[in-house]
Amino acid sequence: MDRFQELLWDLGELIEVPLHADKNNACKLILDQKLTLQLEMDQYDQKLLITSFISELPPGKFREDILKNALKVNGMRHSFGVFSYIESNNFLILHQYFHVDNLSREKLAEYLESLIQEAEEWRSAISNGHSSPNKYEHPL
């Protein structure tokens, strides 16, 4: 069994959801029909990439404000990941790479929980018309 499938198997046991790699060697999770996560290995099979697709951002001032705030958060010290923008589909994403050496299922679940919590806060804020979660409102 390759390391990616082993990580998925271990994580799946911990969260009690069977996880498997698809034909593209990725694993997609949809949480409460609101938040999509994707897990995949890098091209060298040394790092696990976890990506959360937070929200589509319509063009205009609101998108500019969201991206400005996301960049500011990227400059802060935190452990949940890096915000990026995918121009081809206008999506704000949050992603993080993890070295797979010595990555336990417990550590992976902890990282995943942190990333999901942050992504959900941003998704909720954006869907409610805010350019960032309240905790970043003052001062950024």
The whole-number average pLDDT for the span 105-110 is: 86
Residue 140's pLDDT is: 45
User: Using an 8 Å Cβ cutoff, are 45 and 2 in contact?
Assistant: yes
Give me the number of domains the chain comprises: 1
Alpha carbon distance 44, 28 (integer Å): 20
The CATH number given to whatever domain includes residue 99 is 3.30.1460.10
Alpha carbon distance 5, 129 (integer Å): 39
User: Using an 8 Å Cβ cutoff, are 48 and 41 in contact?
Assistant: yes
Of the chain, the percentage scoring pLDDT greater than 70 comes to 97
Residues 6+ apart with CB under 8 A from 2: 45
3-state secondary structure of 119: helix
Confidence tier at 106 by pLDDT (50, 70, 90): confident
The whole-number average pLDDT for the span 43-72 is: 93
Q: DSSP H helical segments within 3-104, as ranges?
A: 3-15, 61-74
Structure tokens at 83: 């915000």
The whole-number average pLDDT for the span 108-118 is: 90
- Show the domain range for 131: 3-136
The whole-number average pLDDT for the span 9-23 is: 87
The whole-number average pLDDT for the span 21-36 is: 88
Helix, strand, coil percentages, rounded to 5, for the chain: 40, 25, 35
The whole-number average pLDDT for the span 105-118 is: 89
Decide if pLDDT at 69 tops 90: yes
Alpha carbon distance 99, 28 (integer Å): 19
The whole-number average pLDDT for the span 80-105 is: 91
Query: How much is the mean pLDDT over the chain?
Result: 89
CA-nearest of 36, 7, 35 to 21 is 7
Residue 138's pLDDT is: 59
